[in-house]
Amino acid sequence: MARGTTIRMWRRSLFILMALMFLGFGVSIARLVQLQIFQGENLQQMAIDQQLKDTKISAQRGTIYDCNMKPLAQSATVWTVVLESAYLPDNKTKELVATGLSEILELDKNEVLEKAKKKSYYTVIKRKIESDVKDKIIQFQKTNKIKSGIRLVEDYKRYYPYGDFASAVIGFTGTDSQGLSGVENYYNDYLTGESGKLVTARNAVGTDMPFDYEKMIPAKNGNSLVLSIDEVIQHFLEKNLEEGIANFNVVNKAVAIMMDVNTGDVLGMAVRGGYDLNHPFDIVDDNMKKEIESFPEDGKAKAKAEALEKQWRNKAVSDTYMPGSVFKMVTASMGLEENLVTENTGFNCSGSLVPFKGARPIRCHKHGGHGAQTFLKAFCNSCNPAFISLGQMVGAQKFYQYYDGFGFTEKTGIDLPGEANGIFFSKDGSMGPMDLAVASFGQNFSITPIQMAVAAAAVANGGYLVKPHIVKQIIDPNGNIIRTSEREVRRQVISEDTSRKLCEFLQLNAKEGGAKKGYVPGYRIGGKTGTTQKIGQSGPDGLDYIASFCGIAPADKPQVVLLVYYDTPKGGSYYGGVVAGPTFQQVMQDVLPYLGIERKYTDEELVILDIPTPFLVGSSVSEAKNKLERLGMKPVVYGSGDMVVSQIPEAGVKIPKGGTVVLHTAQDTENKTVKVPKLIGLTPSNANKTAVASGVNIVIKGAISNGAGAVSVRQSIAEGTAVKQGTAVTVEFSVQNQPTED
Amino acid sequence: MNKNYRQRAINRSFQSEVLESGAERRQDGRTFRRGSSINRKKNAVKKKFKTFSVRSGLDLPLFFITIVLLVIGLVMLFSASYPNAYYYKNGDSYFFIRSQLIWAVLGVIAMIALSYFDYHHLHKMAVPILILSFMLLVLVLFMPVKNEVHRWIQLGPIGFQPSEITKFAIVLSFAHFISINFKRMGSFKYGVLPYAFILGLTAFLLYLEPHISCLIIVVLLSGGMLYIGGIKLRWFGMVLAVALAAVAYLVLFTDKLTYANGRVQGWLDPFSSNPNVDTWQTKQGLYAIGSGGLLGLGLGKSRQKYLYIPEPQNDFIFSVVCEELGFIRAAIILILFAMLVWRGIVISMRAKDRFGSLLGIGLIAQVGLQVILNIFVVTNTIPNTGISLPFFSYGGTSLVMLLAQIGIVLSISRTSKLEKT
């Protein structure tokens, strides 16, 4: 023991030494073990989280094309302005940044300043700015030498080049590019893709670290959709619906669905009025806008939300309606399929029918009654009593069986969000006698328009209930097809025979029955009208109706089904034939040539298919002859010259096919005169035949849209007058026995 | 023998002269002897002290451990400081290391020089240095506020903390007074009162700065020295109780508590999201330590030093050490420090007189305490308070002070009864 110490001092020194060793260094090392070994990973993760700055690389959302690869929805590059306020060194810079950004981005300065003062590494200031605004920000950064703190993150913005076109089908995306409605929503997972990441190491002031650390996970762009929708057809649907809405003052939107009856491809689905997909949150309807304004301040947001919901709603799949007489094609299918009736089965209509003892009588739309009629006639007359009787013959059980079979009790499975369920009388399918009576002509149960279109397709295509679809193909960013929608038959509901017969029924109905307003000559249109009273809903000016028209073309080999449906027309008529018929006709007239469907005219139709006489003066005789023959006209040449010097009738006069055109090769050639025959009291085709036989042409005037039931009543040149051969005589026709609307 | 020794110690305390004890060593057959005047002594030092000597030289383990720690410390200071220097000193990455190197050289020179200096002369300096310490502590209160505290005195280009002097002054004066009053340490008048007075005044002045970390070190050092000096444990216990009561009072009832309390909150929850509690430094330090794991990211590869840890060259340098070198090497550094303390205490315990023992233990314990408290702060074992890490943290005057103190311990080691290596 050293002499300078005592034992106590020695001991106490040792104690201090031990205390320093164990309490001091021992605990220190224990803490390091705890922090570095046990909590190391956690702490390291937290450190990495702050050191590595992820930059999200947005995936480009897939394009939505129509069936001809015309883009309907596209994504373009935009930028999101992000503030990394933690990297802004001082309050002066923060002030400067807030002022600059608020000016460029047109934001409230104080709000931006507040965000700048909060210490954060990621605060979104504004989303989706265009490249010109981005350039301004970059310029601002350069001029003020701001190296970090403002970040521009690449993003994509959805553009809809056609605005409100096919809005219900395409849908739109929200701020995070997520699909909110339509196929944008339904196929969101396919369209979205996977965003990538760019990871870089940053120091605490946000500039890059001197050592290299960069890792990139590239974004996987979304898949594109090819719709079965044809932009041209969709355009026709929308254009004609708009016209119908304007003409008949339709207040509650209108729907038109065109579908390939065999494949279930939806070629067009229009819901009007639409909304601009580029600005889906703007209320389009002026009445709705006023209504929202009338709400108290705290209720406005809710009212607006409801209005928007209504605006975005795809009425074709999300709303139900009572199909009315259109449904008679289904009831008729039941009768024929079950061999309960044939087209010749007799029915008697006295204007009303008591469906069973003690019930209130149900009136036919023709109050005087249709009298004795065949089943086919009853179909064309859309006679309610006849169909009540047929319904009773089918019976409630069978009726529901078919109802179920035609797919009215289930969703069609169309690839659109928000498909609604229909409402039947009861959940188990049982129905009372009155239910059965009204159901047989399509009343008191609700279905969706798409269900009706699919059922009509089944009626027309041989009885096959197909699954409708909007998307034909999904293609990946490299253009490879990753999914194709195949024809999907859910079941066969009726036989092909029955289907064929129904097509004939529908065609006859369109040609000369209640659906005449939808007829297009040459295209063998079949159709059925429907006018439904909206039960429990009546506006201030009387009852509300739904006017619909559902038909097929061509009836001999159905290709497309078209359902047109106007909810609550307020402009005079509300009948399906009057309101929806012309739209149907116009659409078919536009679409069928586009689809390349061959025209086949009946004699009657050929006549009214007048063609303007071509201008032939000055052309050679052979040339003129060729031209006329191509047009189906009969050339008669006088004179021996090589060139045509005059023609009868003159260029531009519309004459029926097969008409005579007289060509003179010299001015002074002898003119053969003919006598005008009697052309009154004839059908158009007979009048034409008579005229052609006499060497004159007729020019048809009057309402004979489909040539059925028209009789000539007047002729412009009296019978017996001598005229030059080929002269055009205007004959006026008038349609008699106007068939009644249902 | 024991009686003889005590008599001599008392004589010495009255004469304030160290020569006798030096002469005493001759009996042990040592080769050196001391004259009775300064001139003689100077000659004697030149003659008798060999820089490296198996028998009478300084203690090689202590010397080399110090040098090793200093070298590692400089390397790590360079690594930890260059991003800060790069970003804040106009791209001059060598800003901190350049200055530190110069001070380190000066410090080593001072250390070696002091190791030749007979520490008994310090008896005479004890009281003047203590008075100087008090004066500086008062003076510093009139210095401009830096980081909300009065802690620095600026002398031209050199800034220094008077509390560095204070720590030394306390150790020296306690060693001085205890060694001359060793026999009477049991009494209140000689064993408690002077120390209580010195410590109380110092603590009060430090508290005014405020410099809590230094206060803690001073209190712990004084306590330790009085304990070794033989104070009756009941006094010791009483002072401890009073101190605890005072601290409790400060924390609970004074307005200083806003400063302290935020730290306590941050200590309990370093990842707190409470914006009123600034835990940034602690949190970033912990991230760095955790990131190091077992083996570390490699020398120079710390990420946290990139401006995440504020001033990584100062108190939190050890977190960068942990991050770059990993647990194993960090633990080795701690073990080196422990060895330094161990060796220093062993040297002191075997010093040839009580003054040497007390002074040596006090000085080396100061280094040890600073290391331990620094590690405790960095690892968030205790609330954050500013304590620098000896040999590592940036700070020229403090490094020179530190090396000088080691030099004194080395001087003690020359006459210590050790098995020289």
Contact residues, chain A, for B351 at CB < 8 Å: 2, 4-5
Report the distance separating Cα A714 and Cα A429, nearest Å. Answer: 58
Chain-chain contact of A17 with B341 (C-beta, under 8 angstroms)? yes
Question: What's the CA gap between B118 and A347, in Å, rounded?
Answer: 138
Residue A468 has φ and ψ, to the nearest 5°, of: -75, 150
Give me the CATH number covering residue A154.
Answer: 3.90.1310.10
8 Å CB contact of B349 and A13: yes
Nearest to B331 among A29, A48, A205 (CB): A29
What residue type is assigned to position A562 of the chain? L
Phi and psi at B172, nearest 5°, equal -65, -50
Averaged pLDDT for residues B165-186: 88
- Same domain as B182, residue B110: yes
Q: Looking at the complex, does the CB of residue B291 fall below 8 Å from at least one CB of chain A?
A: yes
pLDDT surpassing 60 at residue B22: no
Q: Kindly state whether residues B161 and B31 are assigned to the same domain.
A: no
B24 and B76 co-located in one domain: no
Query: Tell me, what's the pLDDT at A208?
Result: 61
A537, A659: one domain = no
Q: Quickly state the pLDDT bin for A735 (edges 50, 70, 90).
A: low
CATH of residue A540's domain is: 3.40.710.10
Residues B80, B40, single domain; the answer is no
Q: Is A520 helix (H, G, I), strand (E, B) or coil?
A: coil
Domain boundary (A203, A224, A245) is at: A224
For chain A, how many residues are written? 742
Instruction: Count CB atoms within 10 A of the CB of residue A541.
Output: 7
Q: What's the pLDDT score for residue B40?
A: 42
Using the predicted structure, report yes or no on whether residue B44 has a pLDDT greater than 70. no
Strands (E), A419-497: 464-466, 471-475, 481-484, 489-492
* Confidence check: pLDDT of B312 > 90: no
- C-alpha dist (Å) from residue A13 to A6, A19, B174, B237, B350: 10, 10, 15, 18, 11
The pLDDT value given to residue A535: 67
Torsion angle, CA of B396/B400/B403/B408, rounded to 10 degrees?
Answer: -160
The answer, yes or no, to whether residue A522 has pLDDT greater than 70, is yes
Q: Which residue has the higher pLDDT, B120 or B270?
A: B120
Q: Are residues B288 and B331 in the same domain?
A: yes
Instruction: For residues B31 and B154, state if they share a domain.
Output: no
Q: Which residue of B has its CA nearest to A40?
A: B290
Residue A415 resides in a domain: yes
In the DSSP assignment, the letter for residue A638 is E
Asked whether residue B53 is assigned to any structural domain, the reply reads no
| Domain shared by A33 and A112, yes or no | no
Q: Which amino acid is at A37?
A: I
Last residue of a domain, one of A224, A239, A254: A224
A87 shares a domain with A188: yes
Q: What does the pLDDT read at residue A148?
A: 79
Q: Which of A154-168, A544-558, A707-721 is least confident?
A: A707-721
Pair A389, A534 in one domain: yes
CA–CA separation, B110 and B399 (whole Å): 11
Given a cut of 50, whether residue B39 has pLDDT beyond it is no
CATH of the domain at A721: 3.30.10.20
Total domains present in chain A: 4
State which residue of chain B sits closest to A52, comparing Cα positions: B303
- Same domain, yes or no, for A664 and A546? no
pLDDT at B419 over 80: no
Contacts of B307 in chain A (CB under 8 A): 203-205
Q: Kindly state whether A40 is in contact with chain B, defined as any CB-CB distance less than 8 angstroms.
A: yes
Residue A614 has a pLDDT of: 82
pLDDT over 80 (residue B274): no
* Residues B104, B6 share a domain: no
Q: If you measure CA to CA, which chain B residue comes closest to A1?
A: B350
Residue range of the domain that includes B243:
60-415
Percent of chain A predicted with pLDDT > 70? 93
Report the pLDDT value the prediction gives residue B368, as an integer from 0 to 100: 93
| B327 interfaces chain A, CB cutoff of 8 Å | yes
pLDDT category, A560, cuts 50, 70, 90?
A: very high
Longest dimension (CA), chain B: 68
How far, CA to CA in Å, does A650 sit from each of A266, A306, A719, B289? 46, 62, 22, 102
Contacts of B288 in chain A (CB under 8 A): 47
- Residues A503 and A619 grouped into a single domain: no
Q: What percent of chain B has pLDDT over 90?
A: 31
Is A12 in CB contact (< 8 Å) with chain B?
A: yes
Interface of A with B in 121-160 (CB under 8 A): none
A257 pairs with which residues across the strands? A269, A563
Q: Let me know whether A332 and A469 are in one domain.
A: yes
Q: How distant is the alpha carbon of residue B3 from its chain centre?
A: 34
d(CA A18, nearest CA chain B) in Å: 9
Q: How confident is the model at residue A457 (pLDDT cuts 50, 70, 90)?
A: very high
Task: Tell me if A307 is assigned to some domain.
Answer: no
Touching A: B residues 79-118, CB under 8 Å: 83, 87
ipTM of this complex > 0.85?
no
Greatest mean pLDDT among A65-74, B22-31, B39-48: A65-74
Q: Could you give the maximum distance between any two Cα atoms of chain A, in Å? A: 163
Report how far residue A1's alpha carbon sits from residue B416's, in angstroms, rounded to the nearest whole number.
11
The pLDDT of residue A514 is 79
B69 contacts chain A (CB < 8 A): no
Alpha-carbon distances, residue A572 vs A66, A323, A703 (angstroms): 37, 21, 21
Per-residue pLDDT tens digits for A256-266: 999 999 999 99
Q: Does B383 touch chain A (CB under 8 A)?
A: no
Residues A518 and A381 in one domain: yes
- For the cut 50, the answer to whether the pLDDT of residue B262 exceeds it is yes
Select from A657, A663, A668 the least CA-distant residue to A636: A663
Express each pLDDT in A196-243 by its tens digit. 887 777 776 666 665 556 677 888 889 999 999 999 999 999 999 998
For residues A449 and A414, what is the distance between their CA atoms, to the nearest angstrom? 12
Question: Which residues of chain B are within 8 Å of residue A3 when distances are taken between CB atoms?
Answer: 1, 5, 352-353
Give residue B34's pLDDT band: very low, low, confident or very high (50, 70, 90): very low
B381 contacts A31? CB cut-off 8 A: yes
How close is the nearest chain A Cα to the Cα of B109, in Å? 28
Tell me if B379 and A46 make a contact (CB, 8 A cut-off). no
- Domain contains A687: yes
**Rounded Cα distance, A91 and A98, in Å:** 10
pLDDT of residue B207: 86
Instruction: Supply the pLDDT for residue A741.
Output: 47
In a domain, B420, yes or no: no
Q: Does residue B36 sit in the same domain as residue B64?
A: no
Report if residue A371 sits inside a domain: yes
Helix (H, G, I), strand (E, B) or coil at A482: strand
- Alpha helices (H) along A33-89: 40-51
A154 in the same domain as A64: yes
Q: Is residue B413 within 8 Å of residue B116, measured between CB atoms?
A: no
CA–CA distances in Å: residue B76 to residues B315, B327, B332, B379, B393: 13, 15, 14, 18, 9
Interchain proximity B290–A39, CB inside 8 Å: yes
B4 — pLDDT class (breaks 50, 70, 90): low
Q: A195 CA to chain B: closest CA distance, Å?
A: 27
Do residues A384 and A362 lie in contact, with contact meaning Cβ atoms separated by under 8 Å?
yes
Cβ distance A32 to B331 less than 8 Å, yes or no, reads yes
Arithmetic mean of pLDDT, A98-109: 87
Which of these, B288, B297, B305, lies nearest to B325 by C-alpha position? Answer: B297
Asked if residue B153 and residue B27 are part of one domain, the reply reads no
Categorize the per-residue pLDDT at A128 as very low, low, confident or very high, splitting at 50, 70 and 90: confident
For residues B280 and B152, membership in a common domain is answered with: yes
Q: Is the pLDDT of residue A1 over 70?
A: no
pLDDT digits (tens, 9 = 90+) for A65-102: 999 999 998 888 888 888 887 778 778 888 888 888 88
Supply the pLDDT for residue A564. Answer: 92
> Can you give the pLDDT at residue B10?
43
Same domain, B18 and B40: yes
CA dist A516 and A708 (Å) reads 9
Residue A285 lies in a domain: no
Q: Give the residue among A441, A468, A446, A448 at the shortest CA–CA distance from A457.
A: A468
Mutation pick from B20, B171, B291, B346 vs chain A, by most beta carbons of A within 10 Å, is: B291
Query: What is the overall mean pLDDT for chain A?
Result: 84
Q: What is the pLDDT of residue A694?
A: 80
Distance CA A220, CA A639 (A): 77
Whether the pLDDT of residue A593 is over 50: the answer is yes
Tell me whether residues A43 and B287 touch, CB distance under 8 A.
yes
- Say if CB A264 and CB A457 are below 8 A apart: yes
pLDDT cut 90: percent of chain A above it: 20
| A&B contacts, CB < 8 Å | 169
Same domain, A690 and A569: no
**Domain count for chain B:** 2
Q: Which of A33-37, B64-68, B270-274 has the lowest mean pLDDT?
A: B270-274
Domain termination residue (choose one: A553, A580, A600): A600
Whether A458 maps to a domain, the answer reads yes
Confidence of residue B29 (pLDDT cuts 50, 70, 90): very low
Summary mean pLDDT of chain B: 80
Q: Does A554 lie in the same domain as A435?
A: yes
Whether A371 shows a pLDDT value over 70: the answer reads yes
Is residue A741 assigned to a domain? no
What residues of B are in contact with residue A37 (Cβ under 8 Å)? 293-294, 327
Identify which of B168, B178, B170 has the alpha carbon closest to the alpha carbon of residue B353.
Answer: B178
Q: Are strands A346-349 and A352-353 parallel, antiparallel or unpaired?
A: unpaired
Lowest mean pLDDT among A138-142, A161-165, B56-60: B56-60
CA atoms of B312 and B321, how far apart (whole Å):
10
pLDDT per position as a tens digit, B347-372: 988 888 889 889 999 999 999 999 99
Task: Give the up-direction half-sphere exposure of residue B416: CA atoms within 13 A in the CB hemisphere.
Answer: 35
Residue span of the structural domain in which A515 resides? 317-600
- Chain A contacts of B334, Cβ < 8 Å? 25, 28-29, 32
Q: Would you say A421 and A411 are in contact if contact means Cβ atoms under 8 Å apart?
A: yes
Cβ separation B381–A40 shorter than 8 A: no
Q: What is the average per-residue pLDDT within A22-40?
A: 90
B79 shares its domain with B37: no
Q: In angstroms, what separates the C-alpha of A40 from chain B's closest C-alpha?
A: 4
Write out residues 209-248 of A within 8 Å (CB-CB) of B. Answer: 209-211
A61 in Cβ contact with A158 (< 8 Å) = yes
* A463 and A445 part of one domain: yes
- Please check whether residue A294 lies inside any domain of the structure: no
Distances (CA, A) of B414 to A9, B116, B404: 21, 8, 15
Residues 6+ apart with CB under 8 A from B27: none
pLDDT of residue B277: 66
With pLDDT > 70 as the criterion, what percentage of chain B qualifies? 81
Taking the Cβ of residue A51 and every Cβ of chain B, the question of whether any pair is shorter than 8 Å is answered with: yes
Predicted confidence (pLDDT) per residue in A635-674, tens digit: 888 877 788 888 888 887 777 777 788 888 776 666 678 8
